[in-house]
Copies of this chain bind each other. A is one copy, B any other.
Amino acid sequence: MHRCLVCEIRDQSVCRAIDDEDLVVLAKSSKQLSLPPNTTLIEEGSAATAFFNVTAGTVKLFKSLPDGRRQITGFADVGHFLGLTNAGTYSFGAETVDTVQVCRFMRPQLETLLADYPQFERRLLAEVTDELAEAQEQMLLLGRKTARERVASFLLARMIHRPCQTTGEENRVSLPMTRVDIADYLGLTIETVSRTISALRRDHIITGTDHHGIRVLSPSRLQGLASGQENA
């Protein structure tokens, strides 16, 4: 049995554009990797030779300034495709947040796939278009929202995008990344993120003391905050 044929996330990824019969080709042109937390997948500015499809875990994408300031531009989880660029080099870096599994494609193989499967290209266009819409939403957050609104938006987005019903708890939000990562994603400092989360707890909008998971008590108030209504 060929690996890609039994891939459990195939229908969530770009790979669903490939026919069953041709998955053999796909399996040959890709390689499955399992990576520990905080592994560098992509080095900012290095030659763009490989592309990745995340099959488990979460990857952080970021850009940095010479003095070390960093902005995380997104978190890529199951199904996401990484590494596209027009220049010959990556314009961003990528590191694993937790333990991550990826399928790695090398450039020549990817170009063959693109040439042979119009559907594959169609899927990529859709994915990149989606990422662009998310990026625009994030620009609104970074440019115009207060700290409280940013944290509320972040928690809400994770609640909606990630059902996370593994535990019995209602409205549980998992936060696999550290406070540093959250801060670098929201354009804040870790202190401000920490203080803001504490404030939301004080206001009974969220609850739970676990650093990597909280529970939302009032999704509607969180939603109100995220879209800028004072209080809620």
Give the chain B neighbours of A61 by CB distance below 8 A: 136
- Kindly report which residue of chain B lies nearest to residue A65, judged by CB atoms: B228
- Kindly report which residue of chain B lies nearest to residue A114, judged by CB atoms: B122
Cross-chain contact A129 with B129 (CB below 8 angstroms): no
CB contact list, A116-161 vs B, under 8 A: 118, 121-122, 124-126, 128-133, 135-140, 142-145
- Kindly report which residue of chain B lies nearest to residue A63, judged by CB atoms: B140
Nearest-Cβ distance from residue A182 to partner chain B, whole angstroms: 12
A19-27, A67-75, A206-214 - the one binding chain B: A67-75
Partner of A143, one of B85, B187, B227: B187
- Kindly report which residue of chain B lies nearest to residue A84, judged by CB atoms: B129
Total interface residues on A, using CB and 8 Å?
A: 44
Nearest-Cβ distance from residue A70 to partner chain B, whole angstroms: 7
What is the copy number of this chain in the assembly? 2
Cβ of A66 under 8 Å from chain B: yes
Report the 3 A-B pairs with minimum CB-CB distance, sorted nearest first. A143-B187, A142-B142, A135-B135
Q: A124-B125, A135-B135, A142-B142 are in contact. List 6 more A-B contacts (CB 8 A).
A: A65-B227, A71-B143, A73-B136, A86-B133, A91-B137, A118-B121
Cross-chain contact A228 with B133 (CB below 8 angstroms): no
CB-defined A-B contacts under 8 Å, sample of 6:
A71-B139, A73-B140, A85-B129, A86-B129, A121-B125, A142-B143
- Kindly report which residue of chain B lies nearest to residue A137, judged by CB atoms: B63
Cross-chain contact B91 with A144 (CB below 8 angstroms): no
A49-61 vs B, Cβ < 8 Å mask (1 yes, 0 no): 0000000000001
Partner of A133, one of B66, B69, B85, B121: B85
Cβ of A46 under 8 Å from chain B: no
Cβ of A229 under 8 Å from chain B: yes
Give the chain B neighbours of A121 by CB distance below 8 A: 118, 121-122, 125
A91-B136, A144-B70 known; A130+B65 contact, CB < 8 A: no
